[in-house]
Each structure stands twice: as C-alpha cells, then as structure tokens.
Amino acid sequence: MWIFLLVVGALTLFPILMTIVGSLMTNSELMSGGNILPKTWQFHNYADAWQQSNFARYTWNSLFISIVSMVGTLLVAAAAAYVVDRRSFPGKSLYVGLQASTMFISMGAIVLRPQFDLMVAVGLNSSLWGVILILMSAHASTFFILLGFFKSIPRELDEAAMIDGSGFIRSFYRIILPLLAPGLGVSGLFAFRHAWNEYILPLVFTMTDPKLQTLTVGLANLRYGSSAAMQTNLMMAGACLSILPMLIVYALANKSFMQATAGSVKG
C-alpha cells in the first residue's frame, strides 16, 4: 500500500516540480532539454511573466469571476437542495432527474453558441457578468453534494424553529445554513476551482475587450514574445503564479474537507 501511495504521489507531484524547475530556466535551456536543473536560477522570469501578461489585471478578473460565481453557486444550490430535501412539490422527481442529467451529459462547445446568444439578448455578451451567470447555472454537482449534507441534518431542528415562530426561509439562513459549513466549504472549493480554471467562456466573452480577460486567457498570451519565439519558461512561471490562489483557497477549506471526511466515516 505504501509503495502504491508513493508511486501515485510521485506521479502527481512530478509535473508540478517540472513546472517549477522549468520556470527558473532560460528558454534555450528549457527547449534544448539537456539539463534537469538550470545552470543559473532565473528568478526574474516571474517578474517578466507578471509584467508581460498584465498579471495584476488578469488576476483581479479571475478572482472576481471565481469568488462571485462561487458565492452565487452556493446560494442557488443550497436553496434548491434545501427545498428538495424538506418539501414535496409537483415535478420534484423530474427536477432532480434534470439536475442529474446535466452532470452525465457533457455538452461542451455545443451549448456555447446558445449561451452566447442568450447573453447577447440580455446585453451581457461583453461583460464578466455573462461568464458568472453561466458558471452559476452549472451547479448540479454542488446541488447533489449539499443535498447529501442536508439529509444528515435532523428535521427536528426545522420543526423546533417553526414552533418558535421562525419561517421557512429564516430557518434556512439562521439555523440550517450555519450547520452546513463543511459542505459549503467543500462545494465552494470545487466551484472556485471550476471558475478559476475556466478558459473557453472567458476567451469568447472577452474577445472584444482584452482588459476583461482572465488569468487563464492571459497565460496563453505568454506563448509568443515580441520576437515570435515561444516563451515556454515564462508560461511555466505564469502557471506557477496562477497556482498560488488555488493553494490559498485549499488551505482555507482544508478544515471543511477534514470535517466532511470525518462525517462520512462516522456515518
């Protein structure tokens, strides 16, 4: 078991280590492939990548999209999961089935044109809000994760709140939602990661305004420099910089992961 875990860990960390080492090489060293370690550590690659790709602006755009879409996804999915778990209404099974179908049927680029046309109709085709709304609509996985957490919360809490005069919505926000913290942490990390790594949607919606481009789109601009030569070392440096926010979010959500894992083992 230990040998298997070590092999899996090595295979997982190897690309990351190669990216870090490659980001500290010159472009000629990296393209020639003759050295495992750089002869001279090129720490200025990070400064060059930051300046050439307008990292500050692109990072802000990525953070804005990721945070707003994460919060919106959690609110929409949590409210939907709460109603499905606590209430009976016509078409409930159909709604759950439609949610499940969006998880197992990958539309990909097929729905990109209808989504863009829809955003054109509402005037959000050249705005980051169009990307955010589309990302929020893809909340099926978050819905089912939170639905599982809701089933572990006793219904007696809702009944006690109703006896004390609390309404359905107030009970959700004041009593149930705080108990859902582990599920919200895990689901929030997944939603943030999905929005942070999204490439096609920001590329399509920001073609007319490069200032709205996200970090994933900006990294692609590092591919070629002013001399039309591929700058692989700068792309790797930019990739290392783009990993940092995800590591910070994971560190913040790590406690939620532990609580979710402990709860599943206990159950």
In angstroms, the CA 88 to CA 221 distance is: 51
Q: How far is CA 26 from CA 38, 42, 44, 55, 60, in A?
A: 8, 7, 10, 20, 28
Q: pLDDT class for 264, splitting at 50, 70, 90?
A: very low
Please write the tens of the pLDDT for every residue from 7-52: 998 888 888 888 888 888 877 777 776 677 777 788 888 888 787 7
- Is 17 or 230 the better-scoring residue by pLDDT? 17
The pLDDT of residue 267: 40
Q: What are phi and psi of 125, to 5 degrees?
A: -75, -20
User: Residue 171's pLDDT is what?
Assistant: 80
**Mean per-residue pLDDT, 159-165:** 78
Band (pLDDT 50/70/90 cuts) for residue 263 is very low
Q: What is the pLDDT of residue 4?
A: 93
Two tokens, residue 37: 């370690």
| pLDDT number for residue 179 | 81
* Assigned token pair, 79: 């409210």
Report the C-alpha gap between 24 and 153 in whole angstroms.
Answer: 50
| Predicted confidence band of residue 121 (pLDDT cuts 50, 70, 90) | confident
- pLDDT at position 64: 92
- DSSP calls for 106-168: --GGGGHHHHHHHHHHTT-TTSHHHHHHHHHH--HHHHHHHHHHHHTS-THHHHHHHHTT--H
For residue 68, the model assigns a pLDDT of: 93
Residues near 67 by Cβ (< 8 Å), separated by ≥ 6?
Answer: 192
Residues 139 and 74: their CA atoms lie apart, in Å, by 8
pLDDT band at 151, cuts 50/70/90?
A: confident
> With 60 as the cut, is the pLDDT of residue 212 above it?
yes
Which one of 4-8, 126-130, 213-217 scores highest in mean pLDDT? Answer: 4-8
Whole-number pLDDT of residue 231: 74
Which one has a higher pLDDT value, 162 or 14? 14
Cα–Cα distance between 74 and 101 in angstroms, integer? 20
**Residue 52 contacts residue 222 (beta carbons within 8 Å):** yes
Query: In the 3-class helix/strand/coil scheme, how is 213-253 assigned residue by residue?
Result: CCHHHHHHHHHECCCCCECHHHHHHHHHHHHHHHHHHHHHH
Domains belonging to the chain, first-starting first, are 43-266 (1.10.3720.10)
Higher-confidence residue: 262 or 4?
A: 4
Q: Amino acid identity of 43?
A: F
- pLDDT on residue 256: 60
pLDDT at residue number 178: 81
pLDDT at 108 over 80: no
Q: Is the pLDDT of residue 195 over 80?
A: yes
> Rounded mean pLDDT of the chain?
80
The span from the first CA to the last CA of the chain, in angstroms, equals 25
pLDDT (mean) for 228-250:
77
pTM of the model: 0.79
Render pLDDT for 57-74 as a digit per residue (tens, 0 to 9): 888 888 999 999 999 999
More reliable by pLDDT, 154 or 222: 154
Q: CA torsion, points 217, 145, 189, 109, in degrees to nearest 10?
A: 0
